[in-house]
Amino acid sequence: MRPTWADIDLEAIAHNVGVFRGLVGDSDLCAVVKAGAYGHGTAEVGRAAVGAGATWLGVALVDEAAQLRSAGITVPIIVLSEPRPSEMAGLATLDGVRPTVYSHAGIVAFASAAPAGSPVHLKVDTGMNRVGAEPSDAIGLAQVIAGSGLVLEGLFTHFASADQPGDGFTEVQVRAFDDVLAELSATGMKPPVVHMANTGATLTRPDSHRSMVRVGIGLYGVEPSTALQGRCGELGLRQSMRLRSEVAHLHEVGGGGGVSYGHRWVADAPTRLATLPIGYADGLTRAWWEHGQVLIGGRRRSVRGVITMDQTVVEVDESVAVGDEAVILGSQGDGFVGAGEMADATGTIGYEVLATVGARVPRRY
């Protein structure tokens, strides 16, 4: 096995599920495990989350739902975007997997492939402006669902800015969604599963919890935004990924010597350097070099020179030896490097930091 790997702490996943279960009371908890469970492992995280009290799982693709069923996981699964009409027949063979629908074509395609009475969830776009039915179209689509022999089990929307506490647009979306619910109720349709809260809203908007919440990034112990870092810390969420490597090579560069492509970093004095066998092909974003630090011997060591596809160079001292452990994300001794820290320094979000840890990085559970 290569000397670069990711430790996935399934006990941390279970702990985080427990934290959110304590926040949402009687609401169901849908653990979002799309994109390989944000790089952690779809089936492994799915089992851990369900074992800790998650009652639903959320995915983005039909193939992801099939993977969970092949792993023997039986809880309800929702595919969070409408599959193409050509995918609906395959989805219909997966017991207990609910498609999201928001188009006439999608509804008809699923109805033609699935048994009568099969449940679907209708997504309403209340302002994310990505996918979903327009609020003005929701009632008509709900009627198409009923007329096609399907069951409108769920109605949901997705927040655009719930990770920013106090952002007024979240309230706009809540009201728009509640208006659709009221119109549905007036026609006699009352879907039993109503959900809108993502991790940010689950943390800050109890009024949005409804009958189910969908927790993604929080499941992995990472804050959805810098603004919620304190809240996540107060709750004791635990980062579940620890990305590790080791020192593969040591050498010195003299004063004035440049390091890595383009010599973007130049030593101002003789400097001892360690090379780690991990690079941007493993998910360590190239831009991290400007601010990045890793942990070796329990101390922070600064990245020197741009990160390359397979290797990263850091400045060290005489205490470091070939074979020493290097922690890129997670804890070592009293030190800790969070996914949120890396995200803030590189102009992205913790979601991307986790989800882009490459497939060639072995996972150890």
Active site residues: 34, 261
How many Å apart are CA 78 and CA 100, to the nearest integer? 7
For the chain, the three-class secondary structure string (H helix, E strand, C coil) is CCCCEEEECHHHHHHHHHHHHHHHCCCEEEEECHHHHHHCCHHHHHHHHHHCCCCEEEECCHHHHHHHHHCCCCCCEEECCCCCHHHHHHHHCCCCEEEEECCHHHHHHHHHHCCCCCEEEEEECCCCCCCCECHHHHHHHHHHHHHCCCEEEEEECCCCCCCCCCCHHHHHHHHHHHHHHHHHHHCCCCCCEEECCCHHHHHHCHHHCCCEEEECHHHHCCCCCHHHHHHHHHHCCCCCEEEEEECCEEEEECCCCEECHHHCEECCCCEEEEEECCCHHHCCCHHHHHCCEEEECCEEEEECCCCCCCCEEEEECCCCCCCCEEEEEEEECCEEECHHHHHHHHCCCHHHHHHCCCCCCCEEC
Tokens standing for residue 341: 């820290």
How many Å apart are CA 116 and CA 90, to the nearest integer? 16
Q: Which residue has the tokens 């009958």?
A: 211
> What is the sign, positive or negative, of the torsion defined by CA atoms of 31, 84, 145, 96?
negative
Tokens standing for residue 345: 């320094």
